[in-house]
Amino acid sequence: MAGAGLSREELKRLYERYAPVVFRRARTLLGRDADAWDAVQEVFEKMLSAHDSFRGEAQPMTWIYRITTNVALNMLRARKVREPVLTVVDDEPSVGVGSVEARDLLRKWIDSLTEREQQVATLLFLDGLTQEEIADVLGLSRKTIGRELAELREKAASLGAVPRGDP
């Protein structure tokens, strides 16, 4: 593995330093420890096989964060196909964010998003990153992220999730 990219020794050092961060990120997105550990393994396998794609221009964490997000979102898509969601409804009607209607609306909204929109939404709503930070993680311009966010709001508004005039 001479030349550009990561050597196995560099990957080992990255694993020792960043595996806990990758696990926490994957656990947040996937909700299960076992899936998060699977994601950690897959992230570092991808890093080894795609070592030439690390340009060295950004911090390793930016590259690792992007790979982790993509792996977790792919795992969620695969889980959705393998494990249909079963909703248990109490005898009393649910109200608020945890309601069946809210969850159904959220699922419809997520299903309507492109892969990149899902990444942007995850980074914004789950991770609380700023537009500049999202642009850095995804390797896009801040202006592009602004457009993506406007499209996310429009899709949510079209489903009735937010008023069209919200910022």
Question: Residue 59: which CATH number?
Answer: 1.10.1740.10
- Do 53 and 125 have their domain in common? no
Q: How many CB atoms lie within 10 A of CB 103?
A: 14
Given 84, 100, 118, the domain boundary residue is: 84
- Do 44 and 90 have their domain in common? no
User: What pLDDT sits at residue 98?
Assistant: 52
Q: What are the tokens at 44?
A: 């570092």
User: What pLDDT sits at residue 114?
Assistant: 83
Average pLDDT, the chain: 76
- Do 125 and 59 have their domain in common? no
Residues of the chain where predicted confidence (pLDDT) is lower than 70: 1-6, 50-58, 80-100, 102-103, 160-167
- Do 4 and 76 have their domain in common? yes
- Do 161 and 114 have their domain in common? yes
CA distance 110 to 106: 6
Residue 156: which domain range? Answer: 86-167
User: What pLDDT sits at residue 165?
Assistant: 46
With tokens 């076992």, the residue in question is 34
Output the pTM of the full model.
0.56
User: What pLDDT sits at residue 28?
Assistant: 85
Concatenated DSSP letters of 93-144? PP-STTSHHHHHHHHHHHHTS-HHHHHHHIIIIIT---HHHHHHHHT--HHH
- Do 141 and 105 have their domain in common? yes
